[in-house]
Amino acid sequence: MMKNKILFLLTGLLVLSLVSCKKYLDVKSDAKLVTPQSLQDIQALLDDYPTMNAKTTPSLPESSGDDYFWLPATYNAQSAISQGLYQWQSFDSRFGNDWNYTYQAVFNCNIGLELLEKIERTNGNATAWDNVKGSALFFRAYYYLLLTANYARVYNEVTADADPGIILRTASDFNLPGTRASLRACYNRVLQDAQQAVSLLPDVPVHVMRPSKAAACALLSRAYLYMGRYDLGLQWANASLKINSKLMDYNSDPGVINLAANVPFRKFNGETLFYTEMAPPFTLHATSRARIDTLLYSTYQSNDLRRTAFFRTVSGYQQYKGSYAESASVFFTGIANDEVYLNRAECNAFLGNVAPAMADLNLLLKSRWKNGTIFVPLVATDRADALKKIRTERRKELLMRGMRWIDLKRYNREGENLVISRNIGGKLVSLAPNAGYYALPIPVDIIEQTGIAQN
């Protein structure tokens, strides 16, 4: 009977994902009409891999970043829309985009939480009940942070109450009017959900497609880093690494298949805390067409194993292949310990704790260094030098995970004034620091349905 219930639910979700955005918004969401009734049913809803984990996280930010470029022949072969996006020009996107992929996951979270309210927590079901609630809250915080990082301006404590964020939906009824919350309210919701998840989730999950306390702590570290709250980013990175501090040694770890192969890493390797993949709508950075920025590639030293693991040479240029998704074309975007170590290093450096910051950075780099060769630890002369080195390695390590866009935004908030550019037919097209496009355009059908203001 339960199997039939879950099949009915998943079939309904599949149909929901195929209709137009207007039809999707017109559906009357009512928890009474949904089949799941037990904790196992709700857990199955949150275990809906295609909606919650696989190819769900935003892709336009990566396509908008500066880690890749197109050769002239590639540019000329693209559609006018793709060529425009490559130049940071807005266009009218509709259903089948980053917005709807992430909000479908949020919908699952909200309906799960509503159904959970009807199930009493008892001594007998406490572990399962807590895991369901903690998981729903984690997923919602995770996707709201991604949405806010991409569709809103970078967090600024002075303007956060006035800056528009995203639509915060905490109920499953999509017929309820949608309005943009303030940027502060968006981050507050992320922090509230994630902190509650920490108190409910197990230290480690049954599988890394499920949330855990370590992942929730890491998510909080990420959120506070984005906000510029380096003290709290440090606190939560410490909490996560206290639970799980695993780093793969690229020389010998079981998570490494073959660094020279087109698929070098195993899926769900030991460094992964939480697993998600990038959604497919925007693929300017797809490995089939994108080539890695030549200056970026030149920063990898010859004995740095990432040089072999992350790239392969195609017609004289470098193509990315280093995803933790065990695929040459699917991009891992979840949470892994290399990010958490870099979070802790950057937070420590910003706070002036140079020695522990560089210790974390060198611990990471040594795990990526070729055995039998001399590893010379990086040293920093002061806080600014430490930050520069750590942020350089952050870009090199977290390549193609959907994180460069928000990093550019927050570095420019701190005055780095980074200008990113494309060379198109000998003409340089640039995106200025703090340009309006850094708050990515909201899909036009969402504007039409809700009446919210466009970025």
- The CATH number of whichever domain residue 298 belongs to comes to 1.25.40.390
Q: What is the mean pLDDT of the chain?
A: 92
Tokens (6 digits) for 158: 């002075």
Q: Residue 164's beta-bridge partner residues?
A: 182
CA 229 to chain CA mean position, Å: 19
Query: Would you say residue 44 lies in a domain?
Result: yes
Amino acid at 276: T
Q: Report the distance separating Cα 266 and Cα 392, nearest Å.
A: 25
Above 90 in pLDDT, residue 383?
yes
Helices (H), 152-229: 183-200, 213-227
> Which conformational region is residue 89 in: left (phi greater than 0), alpha (psi within -120 to 50 degrees), or beta?
beta
CA atoms of 93 and 90, how far apart (whole Å): 9
Sorting pLDDT into bands at 50, 70 and 90, what band is 338? very high
Taking only the tens place, the pLDDT of each residue in 249-270 is 999 999 999 999 999 999 999 9
Taking 90 as the threshold, does the pLDDT of residue 177 lie above it? no
111 touches 29 (CB < 8 A): yes
Largest separation between any pair of C-alpha atoms in the chain: 69
The single residue listed with the structure tokens 């949470």 is: 335
Grouping H, G, I as helix, E, B as strand and the rest as coil, residue 289 is: coil
Backbone phi, then psi, for 124, in 5-degree steps? -75, -30
**99: number of Cβ within 10 Å:** 25
Write down how long the chain is: 455
60 burial (CB, 10 Å; 0-12 / 13-18 / 19+) is buried
Cβ neighbours, 10 Å, residue 371: 11
The helix (H) or strand (E) run that includes residue 296 is helix 294-297
**How far is 236 from 219, CA to CA, in rounded Å?**
8
pLDDT at 111: 96
Structure tokens at 42: 């709700």
Structure tokens, 364: 């990471």
Contact 346, 230 (CB under 8 A): yes
* Residues 123-165 pLDDT 10s: 999 999 999 999 999 999 999 999 999 999 999 999 999 999 9
Question: Using an 8 Å Cβ cutoff, are 112 and 136 in contact?
Answer: yes
Instruction: Find the domain containing 148 and state its range.
Output: 2-450
Residue whose C-alpha is closest to residue 233's, from 221, 243, 216 = 221
Kindly report the backbone phi and psi dihedral angles of residue 181, in degrees, each rounded to the nearest multiple of 5, phi listed first.
Answer: -75, 165
Q: Specify the number of domains making up the chain.
A: 1
Whether 18 has a pLDDT exceeding 60, the answer reads no
Residue 455 domain-assigned (yes or no): no
Does residue 97 lie within any of the structural domains? yes
Q: Quick one: tokens of 114?
A: 């509503």
Q: Are 177 and 234 in contact (CB under 8 A)?
A: no
Residue at 22 is within a domain = yes
Closest CA to 399 of 307, 282, 275: 307
Q: In 87-125, which ranges are continuous DSSP H helix?
A: 98-116
176 confidence band (pLDDT: 50, 70, 90)? confident
pLDDT of amino acid 30: 46
What span, in angstroms and rounded, lies between the C-alpha atoms of 300 and 322?
14
Judged by phi (left if over 0) then psi (alpha if -120 to 50, else beta), residue 415 lies in: left
Strand ranges, E, within 350-446 = 420-424, 427-431
In a domain, 204, yes or no: yes
pLDDT grade, residue 219 (50/70/90)?
A: very high
More confident residue, 134 or 175: 134
Residue 1 has pLDDT above 70, yes or no: no
The answer as to whether 71 is a domain residue is yes
Whole-number percent of the chain with pLDDT over 70: 92
Residue with tokens 């390695």: 393
**CA 86 to CA 93: how far, in whole Å?**
15
With 0-12 / 13-18 / 19 or more C-beta atoms within 10 angstroms meaning exposed / middle / buried, residue 21 is buried
Nearest to 181 by CA among 170, 197, 195, 196: 170
Q: What angle do CA 164, 167, 173 make, to 5 degrees?
A: 160
Q: Cα(221)–Cα(228) distance, rounded to whole angstroms?
A: 11
